[in-house]
Amino acid sequence: MAEIITVEHPEDPRLGDYTSLTDVELRRRREPAEGLFIAEGEKVVRRALAAGYRMRSMLLTPKWVEVMRDLIEAADAPVYQVDPALAEAVTGYHVHRGALASMQRKPLPDAAAVLAGAQRVAVMESVNDHTNIGAIFRSAAALGMDAVLLSPDCADPLYRRSVKVSMGAVFSVPYARLDPWPASLETLRQAGFQVLALTPSAQAEPIDRVAPHRMPRAALLLGAEGDGLSHRALAAADRLVRIPMAHDVDSLNVGAAAAVAFYAVAHGRPGE
C-alpha cells in the first residue's frame, strides 16, 4: 500500500512533476525529456494503469482519497494529499477532477513492430493540435483501427489534453513515430499496406468507390486541419482518396474527416 503524504507547501519538491501544468510550452518540452506524462481524472488514471503504465506518484484532494482507495492500496508510489487551493497553486488551474497522476512513459515501439499483425492503420502528418490528436485516437479506437503512426512533428499523444480528449484511447491504440518523413512511409509498403492519402482534391477518387474495406492492409494518411497533407506526403501515397462532399461548403474538420474515413476503411457493406 502506498503512503499518503499530506503536503502543505506549493514549493515542496515532491510535487515537481505537477508544476505549471497550464504552461503548454514548458510542459511539452519537460514531459518527454523527463519521461513522464500526466493522467487527469479517475477514469483516465485507471486506464493508464490498466494499460501497464507505471505510476510515479499521485496528487489528490482529500475527497478523492476515498474514491481512489483501491488504487492507493495497490500502488507502490507516493500519494500526495493536498487541499484544492494548494493543487491550484502548484498546477496553475482549478483541478476540477481532483485526481492527478504522474505516470512513467514507456519506450515507443518502432513502426515495424506496431505494424506486425495490423490491417488498418492511421498515419498522421503534422497534426500538432492536442485536441485533434486526442479526438482522432478516440475515433481510431472506437472504429477498430489497429495502430497509429505519427510524423515527427505531430503533437504528443500523451500530453494531458490529448489523453483527456481521447478518453484514454492513446493508451490502448499502439502508436509509433515515422522518421525520416515521408521517406519511411516505405515501411508501410514493405509490410504490405496500400497507402491512401485523404485529401479534398478533385483529382482524388471518392473513398466509397475505392472500397478500402476490401483491401487486406490499408493505411490512411491524414493531414492537419487547414493545410492538409504536404506535397511530399501526397506524392508518397499509392492513391489519393476523398470523402464525397457537397459543393460550395468548407471541408469537414479533421476529427470528423478522420472518423468518416476510419469508418469507410473498417466497415464493408453486406453483399460486397
Q: Does 271 bind a copy of itself (CB under 8 A)?
A: yes
Q: Give phi and psi for 27, each to the nearest 5.
A: -70, -35
Dihedral angle computed from the Cα positions of residues 258, 262, 265 and 267, in that order, rounded to the nearest 10 degrees: -140
The only residue of 52, 107, 180, 270 in contact with a copy of itself, by rule CB under 8 A: 270
Q: Does 139 bind a copy of itself (CB under 8 A)?
A: yes
Shorter beta-carbon distance to a copy of itself: residue 10 or 263 = 263
Residue 251 CB, nearest approach to a copy of itself (Å): 6
Binding mask 208-237 for a copy of itself (x = CB under 8 A): xx-x--------------------------
Burial class (CB in 10 A: 0-12, 13-18, 19+), 46: middle
Q: Does 167 bind a copy of itself (CB under 8 A)?
A: yes
Number of helices (H) and strands (E), helices first, in the chain?
13, 12
Q: Give phi and psi for 205, each to the nearest 5.
A: -85, 145
Which stretch in 67-75, 77-85, 91-99, 239-247 sits in contact with a copy of itself by CB under 8 A? 239-247
- Which residue is it, cell 485523404? 198
Q: Does 163 bind a copy of itself (CB under 8 A)?
A: no
Contacts of 25 (CB under 8 A, 6+ apart): none
Binding site for a copy of itself (CB under 8 A): 135, 138-139, 141-144, 167-169, 172, 206, 208-209, 211, 243-246, 249-253, 255-260, 263-264, 266-272
